[in-house]
Structure 1
Amino acid sequence: MAKQRTDYMKMNTWSPTDPILPEELSSNFVMLDEEMKNHGINVKWFGAVGDGKTDDTAAFQAAMSMCDKRYKMFVPAGTYRIRQTIENNSRGIFGIAPYVDSGEMGTHIIWDPVDVSTDLLPCIRIRNSGDKAIFEDFTVTGIADYNSRNLSTWIDKESFDQNSYSMFAVGAAAIEVTGKATPIFRNIRTSGVKVGQLLNSTNGHVYSYDSSWNGLIGVYCRINSGDYFYQGGGISGAFCGVLLGTLLNAGHRGGFDAHLHRTHLGFSPYAIYQCIDSKMDEYNQASTVRGLSGMYTSAQFEQCGEAAIKLLSKSATSNLRMFGFGFSWSVPTYSGNAGAWEFPLPDELKPLGEKQQYAAWFGTITAPVTFNDDLGTLRKSSAPGAIGSAYIDILTGDKESDLCGLVISDTVIRRKVTPLYKTVDLRTRMEEREHRTLMPVSAPNLLSNPEIISNWTVSNGGSISLVTVDQIPLPITNEMKQVIGIRPVILRVTPDGTQSPSLRIKFNTPSLPYQGDANRNLAMQYFILETDYESGTSFKSIGRISAQNAEYIFNDAITWKTKGWKHLRGRELASKTGLLYEFSIGFIPKSGETYIAGVMVTWDHIGSYSPYSHSYMTDSLEIAGSGNGIILTDSVTNARYRLSIANGSLHITEA
């Protein structure tokens, strides 16, 4: 009886966080009562040393086994070397605090796997008992010294140029979420691993609070099952913060559907990067893969070395709201100061002349999406290869998007597709309408005649003049002959050598604004030839309509790399008010002459070119057959009359 009372007293005066069990209990774990277990199964009960040298794997596995899917596992302060994957069997793991450095000790797990040939082998795999299990207050550190400066050590350039996951050398992961687990992470740190957090589950619903995910890659969303949440902390990596791929899951490929709030991104070459991690033939056969979706509030993209966002051209981004970027560029090249904030791609992976072309790269964006400027905008880099702030391959959708956070004037949109143009056949037919040979009667040009030089105004220096096809450095193309005729009137712009000129022409109306139809689609087109070949390998232009209330239509810069005449067009955008002022052409080079022809703005669709504000033909119209004629309406009485010819005489009769 006395013996039982002694055991009871020891059990009730001992804390589960004590490193050693009472002697009477150490040999018989069955005697641990529920209250003690509920405080956490301590890895030191099973012999874990935590000196950073001893292999503590067996002690962790024994403690995890005792958790029995019902209890949490406790890891006291110390440094624990783990050499085999710990399969979660607990309701969560908790430590004292994340280890930061020698000035702030805590619970520190060193992941030093025996198996170095298996890619993404995790230190902790959360599969079982992972429904809302909480993992908090510890650090997992790998043994690799990943850093941005020496990325070519772990990244193959040829595969990198192909956007293939095979670019990465084999490496370990800190924590893998797999199966149907839906864990919650709080105050976790990772470093020295290929991937900090590996999202490989089929249920999604993974939550992270005030955690710092870092490695070669901070977070890798390998299987996108959606609904990820990050609040506080940061996501960064020697290569990228967030990596998303193209693997097939639940009927879609890849993507990252997440809400990020007050989370720091960046301090990496890429904050968000997408690669092809499925088989290449599967990717080639897929029409699209998923891009980004979700909501980003107070998510700051700081010190990005190559781009804040780099998605594949096949990616489809939709239902995305980013309330500002908090964006800043890293320097484009490394200095000799190893301690400085420098995160560009090394020259071995990308030469200086090609670096930092855009701060964000998107494939297809389906409206409505939001990129506003609440937390600041993206901006064009000062690097030699910089082109603009953002690149969008295709912009589509029935509704308008807020793109102000991308800095619209520096955003390049390769093509806009609206529901009317979603089929290739219809797009082709609409393009054919531009040719005079197929549509000889043109639509009215809403602009004041662009072939009269006095209708143009030039800003930012330079001069304008009219030239013929015999006075241009490159002949007009066959397409130009079809669209604007064989001898078009051409506008020549000569800059002053120090400023980039812009041209403006008003809409054809006695007094501005032009009174048009609200929400009626507009179309525009022009041909342009830039001769400033020495300034770079790409060319740029923007043609936009200014309307009431500071509204701009076709306000997108277009870039191209091929020398020669470029046909620029805009379709299917409408003015909210229909009150129009002028059409302008910007980004004209500071040096070299620029030639412009066939400037036209019309309602609805692009038609064959006309400089006039009425329907126009370039050839005679013949009406043949007995009894035919032309019917005109009296502008005063509205009476209709037929004009016809009989025996060489003109006859006017009521129609």
Structure 2
Amino acid sequence: MNMANHQTNYLKLNTWSSGDIVLPEELGSNFDKLDEEMKSRGINVKWFGAVGDGKTDDTAAFHAAMIACDKKYKMYIPAGDYRIRQTIENNSRGITGAAPYVDGGQMGTRLIWDPLDKERDLLPCIRIQNAGVKAVFEDFTISGTVGYNSKDLASWVDKSLLDQSLYEMFVPGTAAIEVAGSAKPVFRNIQTSRVKVGQLLNSTKGHISSYDCTWSGMIGVYCRINSGDYLYQGGGISGAFCGILLGTILHAGHRGGFPAHLNRVHLGFSPYAIYQCIDGGLEDYNQAAVVGGLSGIYITTQFEQCGEAAIKLLNKSVSTELKLFGFGFSWSVAEHIGNASSWEYPLPTALKPLVEKQKFAAWFGTIRSPVTFHDDLGMLRKSTAPGSVGTAYIDTLTGEKESDLTGLNVADTVIRRKVTPLYKTADLQTRMQEREHRTLMPVSAPNLLRNPEILTNWIVSNGGMVSLVTAEQVPVPITNEMKQVIGPSPVILKVTPDGVRSPSIRIPFHTPVLPYRGDAGRNLAMQYFILETEFESGSLYKSIGRVTAQDAEYIFNDAASWKTFGWKHMRGRELASQSGLLYEFSIGFIPKSGETYIAGVMVTWDHIGSYSPYPHSYMTDSLEIGGLGTGLILTDPVSNIRYQLSIRDGNLQITPLP
């Protein structure tokens, strides 16, 4: 049989109804007669009626070809433009095109992804879930219909949600290829464009490889579910917003992260080369102690033409076991000026004003040693933009071993907090707790909050009422620790919920006009005692106390839980505000039923001190000054003259001092 002369007669496409492809009896019987070698080379979509003219809807032909693949054969797509309108569920052992479409001078295989459903977010052109173990997808392009670009990002990104790093900042859009389920595909020479996400990592098994691919869109690669072990070799990853996006969705006991091996990959040509957002829900993120950051090995990977930062991770992220052998870093211009001869990838001014742009080339949460940032390909560089501060920002540097930070350009790197192994010793922790006891610290530090023992200073949200009670009016006696820290007769706040909603309470900082203007980068400390009489969820008591600062910054934003009924001492230490502009302290996760009692609420600079309700140094007992010639010395703020106050023969003496 001459297969070339009889393909059209053998292979006829039946009517497509309700999205299902049914091969007619003639097609099914004669398909088996096709030479096995011909089928093994790939099931040609044109056998099933695909046109490839860029106008005809070729979706039905692709579905029929996929059914014919039967998880045994590859699918072959000849050169042409194939308009696809519904997701193609992979049923093949891989897809091969003639070559990726490059431009009018180098035509190839291109799928034009123009879905009927314009509302669903991340709807993929191809979903690889079945028959995707070691299946190879190569030599074709997927192009969407939206011309994403950095200059007009405000059309697709909500500024208020960008400021909160929430995934919801992005308008819904399509994905080129989704890897789902247990699939472990291999990609070679794939190209994506004009889609929201080029490659969507949504699988549960990881082990996904990419060779010489160009992943692009508004986002090049989105690691939505981190299942680990990703390999990218050659090619590039970029996007109108970012190249690689990672999030915080909980999977297999961890939230987010991106463990990958990148070799000879071009990153950048975007506002952000790597960006992390909160995509698992703000409440989940607030409750989490940490989220995953970066790990893996980056070899000859270059961060070129970054408009806002090479790396921007969340403060709660933890990056460890990361080796990056130089950055190959360069800044894009800070503003779009419309110069056609230059690359311009900054965030538009509508999303970030010039004075706030390019503060750091890299932002990290916690870096836990060992990590390595070599300078083989060059170090990070400080921007010349007006708002530039340094090369890298590290919220917390910790671990038992030293890390190599050379590539960050250490002289211009800001490390907010460095936790050494010594700090972890029980002896030091004990000494830190001793500072809280009034018996050891008779003079307390000022409370930065408005007096928490005045009821009108408190604001209750989401239902409920507040009142003040004494130690004799609580259902559980105050503990000896409470007596040491806040005294034997504390004023206690009682919160009574409405039985339906979970209330929260907040109290502003002591200043006539908010925000309270403190020291940027200076450590804060907080403490309070809490007694919950009902469980909030399951068998755990929960609470979260946090400071709200400028630009939606939250300090001490981790929820604590415990199982034992009784008073719980909540503490927070050694965290700082980037701006120093502070608004209020709040306590959340208060149960919907049963009374909750709170005492000793205090926020201080530097370290936790013994409790004071006042915004000035405070003592709980009389101060006695004895000895001859002693007294109290005060300075006149007008004349700067120092005076000694003393008593002689029962009379107050005020004597100027030389």
Distance 1:252 1:45 in 2: 46
Change (3 A) 1:425 1:271: farther
* 1:161 matched to 2:163: yes
Superposed CA RMSD = 2.9
Change (3 A) 1:24 1:242: closer
Pairing 1:496-511 to 2, within 5 Å after superposition: none
Deviation at 1:34, TM superposition (A): 1.5
Retained in 2: the 8 A contact 1:218–1:241? yes
CA displacement, residues 471-510 of structure 1 (integer Å, 9 cap, x when unaligned): xxxxxx979xxxxxxxxxxxxxxxxxxxxxxxxxxxxxxx
CA displacement, residues 511-530 of structure 1 (integer Å, 9 cap, x when unaligned): xxxxxxxxxxxxxxxxxxxx
Distance 2:222 2:135 in 1: 20
Deviation at 1:25, TM superposition (A): 6.3
Specify the alignment match of 2:423 in structure 1. 421
Change (3 A) 1:95 1:158: same
Retained in 1: the 8 A contact 2:332–2:344? yes
Change (3 A) 1:24 1:415: closer
Retained in 1: the 8 A contact 2:190–2:215? yes
Distance 1:424 1:265 in 2: 44
Deviation at 1:113, TM superposition (A): 0.2
CA displacement, residues 517-554 of structure 1 (integer Å, 9 cap, x when unaligned): xxxxxxxxxxxxxxxxxxxx99899xxxxxxxxxxxxx
Specify the alignment match of 2:450 in structure 1. none
Specify the alignment match of 2:7 in structure 1. 21
Deviation at 1:36, TM superposition (A): 1.3
Deviation at 1:280, TM superposition (A): 1.1
* 1:336 matched to 2:312: no
Change (3 A) 1:290 1:57: same
Q: Which amino acid aligns with 2:122?
A: L
Pairing 1:250-289 to 2, within 5 Å after superposition: 250-289=252-291
* 1:180 matched to 2:182: yes
Specify the alignment match of 1:218 in structure 2. 220
Specify the alignment match of 2:194 in structure 1. 192
Deviation at 1:32, TM superposition (A): 1.1
Deviation at 1:357, TM superposition (A): 0.3
Retained in 2: the 8 A contact 1:25–1:31? no
Query: The residue matched to 1:223 in structure 2 has which SS?
Result: coil
CA displacement, residues 421-440 of structure 1 (integer Å, 9 cap, x when unaligned): 248994583597899x979x
**1:68 aligned to which of 67, 70, 94:** 70
The unaligned stretches of length 5 or more in structure 2 are 13-26, 447-517, 523-575, 582-624, 627-658
**1:104 aligned to which of 103, 106, 123:** 106
Deviation at 1:222, TM superposition (A): 0.1
**1:42 aligned to which of 44, 54, 66:** 44
CA displacement, residues 371-422 of structure 1 (integer Å, 9 cap, x when unaligned): 0101111111000000000000000000010000000010000001123324
Q: Which amino acid aligns with 1:278?
A: G
Change (3 A) 1:296 1:48: same
Retained in 2: the 8 A contact 1:99–1:105? yes
Pairing 1:605-620 to 2, within 5 Å after superposition: none
Specify the alignment match of 2:233 in structure 1. 231
Retained in 2: the 8 A contact 1:42–1:76? yes
Retained in 1: the 8 A contact 2:416–2:521? no
Matched positions, count: 443
Specify the alignment match of 1:316 in structure 2. 318
Query: The residue matched to 1:63 in structure 2 has which SS?
Result: helix
Retained in 1: the 8 A contact 2:11–2:48? no
Retained in 2: the 8 A contact 1:412–1:559? no
Q: Which amino acid aligns with 1:395?
A: L
In our comparison, the structure showing a higher alpha carbon Rg is 1
Specify the alignment match of 1:149 in structure 2. 151
Specify the alignment match of 1:523 in structure 2. none
Q: Which amino acid aligns with 2:7?
A: L
Deviation at 1:562, TM superposition (A): 4.6
Specify the alignment match of 1:368 in structure 2. 370
Deviation at 1:23, TM superposition (A): 3.7
**1:411 aligned to which of 386, 410, 413:** 413
**2:133 aligned to which of 131, 140, 158:** 131
Q: Which amino acid aligns with 1:131?
A: V
CA displacement, residues 134-168 of structure 1 (integer Å, 9 cap, x when unaligned): 00000000000100000000000111010000000
**1:377 aligned to which of 352, 376, 379:** 379
CA displacement, residues 60-116 of structure 1 (integer Å, 9 cap, x when unaligned): 000011000000000000000000000000000000110011011000110000001
Deviation at 1:30, TM superposition (A): 2.3
Query: The residue matched to 2:127 in structure 1 has which SS?
Result: strand
Change (3 A) 1:81 1:266: same
Pairing 1:575-590 to 2, within 5 Å after superposition: none
Change (3 A) 1:428 1:349: farther
Retained in 2: the 8 A contact 1:155–1:168? yes
CA displacement, residues 322-346 of structure 1 (integer Å, 9 cap, x when unaligned): 0000000000001122453000000
Distance 1:141 1:414 in 2: 43
Pairing 1:459-498 to 2, within 5 Å after superposition: none
Distance 2:400 2:370 in 1: 8
Specify the alignment match of 2:460 in structure 1. none
Specify the alignment match of 2:306 in structure 1. 304
How much identity, in percent, do the aligned residues show? 68
Distance 1:290 1:312 in 2: 9
The unaligned stretches of length 5 or more in structure 1 are 1-6, 440-476, 480-536, 542-557, 564-618, 621-655
Deviation at 1:184, TM superposition (A): 0.2
Q: Which amino acid aligns with 1:99?
A: Y
Distance 2:257 2:54 in 1: 38
Change (3 A) 1:191 1:34: same
* 1:54 matched to 2:56: yes
Change (3 A) 1:433 1:538: closer
Q: Which amino acid aligns with 1:150?
A: D
- Please, what TM-score do these two structures have when normalized by structure 2? 0.64
